[in-house]
């Protein structure tokens, strides 16, 4: 009895976390994104992958897309003067500082959700004792498994669904199943 | 042999999950190199199961259990998915220079291809594991071996 209850609880947990992870990762939209590609789409040309929602882990409706690896950041020339002035002499753009500014760009833009960003925001971080000032993650040595756990939950969800589908199939088509059961082709 | 297969499969699953997010584990450099290396291990996975592949291939159109047929089709889909992941990964790689391959297409296209195919393959891997769950339990000795 205890075993059965434990299994039920475990299944419920896997189903719930899997479903929540699917939503958090925007899994379905990003999975079928490749089928929505129109080769004549202008926005694909020369872009760093922006505009098709492939910003991994971004929730829909969470403001502007994050600048992720491979994404092109806004050109300096496209920045409002206030932002450009602020980043002068720093060598790196600091988006946190930009956001706190008084101009329309800073106040009108919703705060980024950094839940799925291993980089988090672009604020200063210490890397090997040296502040990296939001430098690209490619040079990083950090281990941050937050997103991996979401993917693990999705993986577990699909596994669990398949296990129980197979069990259900066995129950329904139990009769005349000898061939299936005894075959050496069934691993 | 079964222990070897089991350990290989666990390693494949762990590394594949780590590869799902390029930033999670030692950055893009690890992602790209491990992504290339894992392809070899997938081929090793196929190699150690070659007897099964051969048997089902030869009798696929004749009398094959439905589950074996489903597994076979799933394996083909996984192979296609992994090929797409590898190709698109090569096309958008940044730390390893594959520009000499001239794969063509826009960076954005390959990025979307890489993301979508990896997500679909993750789902297929989950289904693949679900279909082999009894084998996993047997390796863990939670269930009695089918043949004693």
Distance CA A171, CA A168 (A): 5
Separation CA A186–CA A57 (nearest Å): 37
Q: Which residue has the higher pLDDT, B118 or A104?
A: B118
Of the candidates A115, A123, A133, A114, the one whose C-alpha atom is nearest the C-alpha of residue A95 is: A123
User: Which whole-number Å values give the CA distances from B35 to A130, B20, B40, in the listed order?
Assistant: 30, 10, 9
Whether pLDDT at A76 is above 60: no
> Containing H/E element for B6?
helix B2-19
Most confident of A27-41, A110-124, B91-105: B91-105
> What confidence tier does A139 reach under pLDDT thresholds 50, 70, 90?
low
Name which residue leads in pLDDT, B6 or A54. B6
At residue A99 the predicted structure's pLDDT band, cuts being 50, 70 and 90, is very low
Going B15 to B18 to B20 to B26, the CA torsion angle's sign is negative
Structure tokens that stand for B148 in this block: 């004693």
How many angstroms separate the CA atoms of A119 and A144, rounded?
Answer: 9
Identify each DSSP E strand in chain A by its residue range. 126-127, 130-131
The mean pLDDT of chain A is 63
Chain segment B46-70, per-residue pLDDT in tens:
898 898 888 888 888 777 888 888 9
The pLDDT-based confidence of A181 (bands split at 50, 70, 90) is: low
Mean pLDDT, residues A171-184 taken together: 64
Tokens of residue A60, six digits: 């829909």
- The torsion angle over the Cα atoms of residues B32, B35, B40 and B45, rounded to 10 degrees, is 170
What is the model's pTM?
Answer: 0.68
Q: Is residue A134 within 8 Å of residue A92, measured between CB atoms? A: yes
Read off the pLDDT of each residue in A156-169 and give the average, rounded to a whole number.
Answer: 93
Q: How many inter-chain contacts (A to B, CB under 8 Å) are there? A: 167
- Beta carbons within 10 angstroms of residue B100's beta carbon: 5
Who has greater pLDDT, B24 or A178?
B24
Residue A111, CA distances (Å) to A40, A71, A114, B26 in order: 33, 19, 9, 27
Please give the pLDDT value at position B83.
93
Query: With pLDDT > 90 as the criterion, what percentage of chain A qualifies?
Result: 21
Q: Which of A75-79, A174-178, B66-70, B74-78 has the highest mean pLDDT?
A: B74-78
Task: Label residue A142 exposed, middle or buried (CB < 10 Å: 0-12, 13-18, 19+).
Answer: middle
Rounded-to-integer distance, Cα A86 and Cα A158, Å? 48
Contact B67 A31 (CB under 8 A): no
Quote the distance between the C-alpha of residue A15 and its chain's center: 19
Which string of DSSP letters, residue by residue, matches B89-103?
HHHH-SSS--GGG--
Provide the pLDDT for residue A47.
43
A180 touches B66 (CB < 8 A): yes
How far apart are the C-alpha atoms of B102 and B90, rounded to whole Å? 10
In this structure, the dihedral spanned by the alpha carbons of residues B52, B58, B64 and B66, taken in order and rounded to 10 degrees, is 70
* DSSP code for A100: T
Could you tell me if A142 and B112 are in contact, meaning their C-beta atoms sit under 8 angstroms apart? Answer: no
Pick A151's closest partner by Cβ from B122, B132, B133: B122
**Chain-chain contact of A137 with B25 (C-beta, under 8 angstroms):** no
**pLDDT over threshold 70, residue A184:** no
A79-93: average pLDDT = 52
E-state strands within chain B? none
The distance of B48 to chain A (nearest Cα, Å) reads 13
User: Which run of H or E residues covers position B76?
Assistant: helix B66-92
More confident residue, A59 or B85: B85
Asked which of A8-22, A98-112, B112-126 is least confident by mean pLDDT, the reply is A98-112
Reported as a single tens digit per residue, the pLDDT across A47-74 is 444 433 344 444 343 444 444 444 444 4
- Distance between CA atoms of residues A87 and A99, nearest Å: 12
Is the complex ipTM more than 0.95?
no
Higher local confidence (pLDDT), A61 or A81: A81
Which of A37, A144, A162 is closest, CB to CB, to B24? A144
What's the pLDDT at A176? 56
CB-based contact (8 Å) between B133 and chain A?
A: yes
User: Would you call A54 and B111 a contact, using CB atoms and an 8 Å cutoff?
Assistant: yes
Listed by number, the residues of chain B in 41-100 with a beta carbon closer than 8 Å to a beta carbon of chain A are 49, 52, 55-56, 59, 64-68, 71, 92, 94-95
pLDDT value at residue B142: 62
Task: Give the pLDDT of residue A68.
Answer: 46
Mean pLDDT score, A131-145: 56
């Amino acid at each position: 009895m205890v075993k059965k209850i434990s299994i039920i609880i475990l299944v419920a947990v896997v189903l719930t976390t899997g479903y929540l992870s699917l939503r958090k990762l925007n899994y379905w939209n990003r999975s079928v994104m490749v089928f929505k590609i129109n080769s004549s789409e202008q926005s694909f040309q020369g872009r760093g992958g922006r505009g098709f929602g492939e910003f991994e882990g971004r929730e829909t409706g969470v403001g502007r897309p994050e600048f992720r690896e491979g994404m092109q950041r806004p050109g300096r020339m496209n920045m409002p003067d206030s932002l450009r002035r602020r980043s002068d002499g720093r060598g790196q753009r600091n988006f946190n500082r930009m956001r706190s500014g008084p101009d329309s760009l800073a106040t009108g833009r919703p705060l980024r959700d950094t839940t799925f960003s291993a980089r988090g925001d672009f604020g200063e971080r210490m890397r090997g004792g040296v502040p990296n000032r939001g430098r690209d993650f490619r040079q990083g040595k950090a281990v941050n498994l937050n997103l991996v756990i979401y993917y693990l939950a999705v993986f577990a969800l699909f596994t669990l669904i398949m296990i129980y589908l197979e069990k259900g199939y066995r129950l329904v088509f139990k009769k005349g199943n000898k061939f299936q059961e005894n075959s050496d082709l069934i691993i | 042999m079964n222990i070897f297969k089991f350990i290989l499969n666990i390693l494949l699953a762990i590394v594949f999950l780590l590869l799902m997010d390029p930033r999670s584990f030692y950055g893009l450099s690890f992602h790209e190199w491990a992504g290339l290396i894992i392809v070899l291990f997938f081929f090793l996975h196929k190699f150690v199961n070659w007897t099964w592949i051969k048997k089902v291939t030869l009798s696929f159109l004749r009398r094959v259990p439905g589950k074996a047929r489903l597994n076979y089709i799933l394996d083909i889909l996984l192979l296609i998915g992994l090929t797409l992941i590898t190709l698109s990964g090569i096309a958008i790689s940044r730390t390893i220079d594959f520009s000499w391959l001239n794969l063509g297409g826009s960076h954005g296209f390959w990025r979307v291809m890489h993301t979508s195919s990896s997500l679909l393959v993750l789902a297929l891997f989950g289904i693949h594991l679900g279909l082999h769950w009894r084998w996993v339990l047997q390796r863990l000795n939670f269930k009695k071996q089918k043949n004693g």
